[in-house]
Amino acid sequence: MGKYPLLEKVNYPDDLKNLSVDQLKQLAEELRQFIIESISRTPGHFGASLGVVELTVALHYVFNTPYDRIVWDVGHQAYGHKILTGRRENFHTLRQLNGISGFPSIFESEYDTFGVGHSSTSISAALGMAIASQLKNEDRQVVAVIGDGAMTAGLAFEGLNNVGTTNANILVILNDNNMAIDPNVGGLSRYLVNFTTSKTYNKIRDEIWNLLDKGKSGKEMRNFLKNLESGFKSALLQQSNFFEGMNLRYFGPIDGHDLPLLIKTLQQLKDIKGPKLLHIKTQKGKGYKYAEEDQPKWHSTSVPFDVKTGKPLVQNDGPKPPKFQDVFGETIIELAEKNDKIVGITPAMPTGSSLKYMMKKIPDRAFDVGIAEQHAVTFAAGLAKEGIIPFVTIYSTFLQRAYDQVIHDVAIQNLHVVFCIDRGGLVGADGATHHGVFDISFMRIVPNMVVSAPMDEIEMRNLMYTAQLEKNNFPFAIRYPRGRGVTIDWKMPMQEVEIGKGRKLKDGKDAVILSIGFIGQEAKKAIEKLEADGLSVAHYDMRFVKPLDEDILREVFNSFDKIITVEENVEQGGFGSAVLEFMNKNGYKKDVLVIGIPDEFIEHGKPEELRQLAGIDSESIYSRTKNFILNTTNVVENVGKMHSDN
């Protein structure tokens, strides 16, 4: 018998149907231990999936998946789901190149009913599926599992608002663990805590379940529910049910780790038609001591760890350059201590963005607004309108969710909001949903917007300093990557950078590379290899995508016949496109090679692997540039597919 005697027999959900409830409880414990041991070797998201082990088992036991649809929100809850749906033997490839995704993917399994990486999409998607089933006369159950703070996002409320106007057969399960990556914030979080601890509510709830247990007659049940409907809200007075007010039948809260109760409840709810919501209480990181005690830390793991001690299995090999997020986190404090108009804002990412440092040191000027990117940007606009200087620290792909607010509320009004765009470029194991490869393109086309990208930590500090100066009272974006920089001694005195001005890093005569942002470090390595081959290549760090340094561009186009642009952004509409636009506008006719992310979604893997696949690592830049210098014959080339120019 193996280490996981029951789990090893469960390859697909149908295998659950033959197990007793006691066996299912054992299976849940085996599943939890399997996740813990697997992630200890192959890092990934951790706490969220541990919190929904019992729910995962119950859902696949009660419902007829994949015919019945389960839509997972915040996809890092779905590891147990993946393991129970045919991917246990491949789970060791999680988030690795050519391995299984860390999130549900419709291309990976029919059990993954909807692709998700960002939060709060489950209710809307599930409603679409439920209405589609009605239109096709299908008797299909549709379940949306929303949790980890996702209920705070506007999209979730939009979905709920629409669900309540339909008779769709949809069950929303609110996985209430009072956590996103960091603790949940805001009125809804407080409401759920107060609501679930109300003595009056719980007394009534117990009466409901006791009545169901005793099998009361239909007439008696109807009378009871009628009385309950008329008296429930008045009994609770100040704690009326928000969800019932949106015309969803509300059930719970129940213990999300009580597997028999979950199974019984889901079986009963299957027979109740129409929109309904089940509220379950769970603990993020359940079953692993260290994850229970420090939930933000154990939201995700980045390195292998010892299961017994929780300690990383890595050696401390001396001082390292800082993470760019920490450069932001410490620099904003330095700036805020000297400028009392500065505030920091993050949508639910104080740890990931390192705004947590400011929240601890200057708490009245640092705001976590929850998973609410649109609100974060318009909140910042309101602050800026009144003379405050907000720094909105936000992941590149999360900013996509607030693009209308960037244009409508900030840029049109030319307000002094500083966007610190974290995770710009290829981020690695989270894959296509999290690669920040569109921001240069979508930000540079916005009027009034300054768009910059530092090549190193010192440049980032200088750009942050420049952005907060009173005279620069317009929208200002600073885009930087995930991970560590290159400078050990980075806390240099900050200096103003002239807006729209790049810098020459190296002279050359055969060709010139114009780079933007941290990818310039890869270009620098490529140039060293080209020099070793006897090719002389100049290098400019442009620093700004908008406004472009037209003085440098004129110098370049007047001096070189072969020009290469390098960016860690999609080629379409990005930095290279801006250079081509300048060339066309000013009547130059030179050979230009645009090196960037090709026109396709890049999947998951290590950042260095993905840069190689996309043709933007130092080796690729070297070979593509060398080939371009030696073989180009007076054409403008804009690379469209991986390595298509090689």
Neighbouring residues of 539: CB distance < 8 A, sequence distance ≥ 6: 504, 505, 506, 508, 512, 513, 515, 520, 523, 524, 527
Q: In what order do the strands lie in the sheet with 249-255?
A: 69-72, 142-147, 170-176, 276-281, 249-255
Give Cα 228 distance to the centre of its chain. 41
Tokens 């085996």 -> residue = 30
Active site residue 330: no
Which of 154, 117, 146 is closest to 376 using CA atoms?
154
Q: How far is CA 129 from CA 164, 268, 433, in A?
A: 15, 21, 21
| From 54, 264, 323, 373, the catalytic residue | 373
CA distance 595 to 637: 10
Active site residue 284: yes
CA distance 54 to 198: 25
CB 577 within 8 A of CB 539: no
| From 264, 401, 444, 482, the catalytic residue | 401
**Helix segments in 76-153, DSSP class H:** 79-82, 122-135
| From 32, 88, 95, 284, the catalytic residue | 284
Which of 632, 597, 602 is closest to 616 using CA atoms?
597
Token pair of 575, please?
A: 């930095």
For 191-311, strand residue ranges (E) read 249-255, 276-281
Tell me the pairing of strands 562-570 and 544-546.
unpaired
End-to-end Cα, the chain, rounded Å: 53
Active site residue 568: no
Neighbouring residues of 260: CB distance < 8 A, sequence distance ≥ 6: 21, 25
Which residues are catalytically annotated? 284, 373, 401
